[in-house]
Structure 1
């Protein structure tokens, strides 16, 4: 594992990143909820981008990976602010955003906040509005009451530790929703979704496709692919989608 560089944001957070120089438009990888930039997709795409001579950037949101702050203190708005500052500071010109799971939501926020810096989008099991439509909608009345009373609850996860879901995460998420208002995406967009994904449903992918507005959007379903979307054929599909988006941008 190579040592990352760090960007100190305007809020004082220290964001770890790896940047590869190359031709533009560059590629920015945005990871998922409680994941980090050393995951399979990010590392594989970095090597692929190098083979293409393409500029590439991967980073850890605050509270994730090697960046500063605690995960439980963060929220979608914080991580979107991190992403925006990273893109504006560490890249030049329009970029192709590759967003995985929560990174898909944050990528969509970037398309609305800094549209001049986005020329294409590849969403991998994109999870827009999941704090509201996933967590909050799925909570029992007892869980909602506990969240309000205690400020957080623990949910089981597929990983070593449970997810700690905070009241702030839910409340801040309501200020970041993208499926309740128009979502123009005036550039090539490719959404990729596995049918065996137990975290983000095919119905969510279809809802996003139907809600967004754009002249060049496609959704590809991969039979049997899970949420990680990291099998060799899935990685090749991501790369091919980036090439297609870049060629059509």
Structure 2
């Protein structure tokens, strides 16, 4: 496989990406927190898109994967800027974002910022507003004091080394919340969620479904699927969701 290409953004960040030419809309994979574009879902979708001649883009946010920067220095707003930079510079015409976990929040922010570009949307265990509703809401008084006094706390992860959560990430997240204000999604949306997900609950998926203003939005709950959502059945469901949006658009 060819190596990554790089995009230099107006904010001085260097984003690694892989772009596949083809017919539109451009399927854009938006990865999760501390994930990268070499994950199972991203690579599977890329191969699927290539097989059908569909344009496809995957990239690493700053502080992730092969892109510049440190994870600890980033926040939701930085990664939103990265997403906009990649979309504006590397795609043309309609796009179909596929957002996984934090990428689901990024996809919703993208839809708010570039609604005219969105042909439809697929989310996988979307985690909108998680910095407030999961991190901050779950912090003990001691952790909140540590965040204020030290500027960061460490949270254990089921999937990798502990997450370093900074005060900047929490404060910036409050400026990016999407479940506290109207959320118009005037295009087909398909949401996928595993019932055994220990990182994002089905309550979050239902809250997004109920909150969004969308004429064609469906949520599929998959019994026993976890947050990775990357076994054979789950990957087939992602393909089907993308195809459904392409057909509905």
TM over 0.5: yes
Class of the TM-score when normalised by the shorter of the 2 chains: over 0.9
Gaps of 5+ in 2: none
Q: Does 2:229 align with 1:229?
A: yes
Matching of residues 11-26 of structure 1 within 5 Å: 11-26=11-26
1:212 corresponds to: 212
Alignment partners' CA distance in 1, 2:68 and 2:135:
25
Alignment partners' CA distance in 2, 1:30 and 1:114:
15
String of CA shifts for 1:29-68, please: whole Å, max 9, x gaps. Answer: 0000000000000001000000110000000000000000
Q: TM-score, normalised by structure 2?
A: 0.99
Matching of residues 1-249 of structure 1 within 5 Å: 2-249=2-249
Gaps of 5+ in 1: none
Alignment partners' CA distance in 1, 2:232 and 2:144:
40
Alignment partners' CA distance in 2, 1:34 and 1:129:
16
Q: TM-score, normalised by structure 1?
A: 0.99
- What is the alpha-carbon root mean square deviation over aligned residues? 0.7
DSSP 3-state at the match of 2:154 = strand
Tell me how far 1:138 sits from its aligned partner.
0.2
Alignment partners' CA distance in 1, 2:116 and 2:185:
12
String of CA shifts for 1:83-121, please: whole Å, max 9, x gaps. Answer: 011011100011001000000000000001011111100
Alignment partners' CA distance in 1, 2:228 and 2:2:
23
DSSP 3-state at the match of 1:182 = coil
DSSP 3-state at the match of 1:119 = coil
Alignment partners' CA distance in 2, 1:43 and 1:86:
18
String of CA shifts for 1:195-231, please: whole Å, max 9, x gaps. Answer: 0000000000000000001110000000000000001
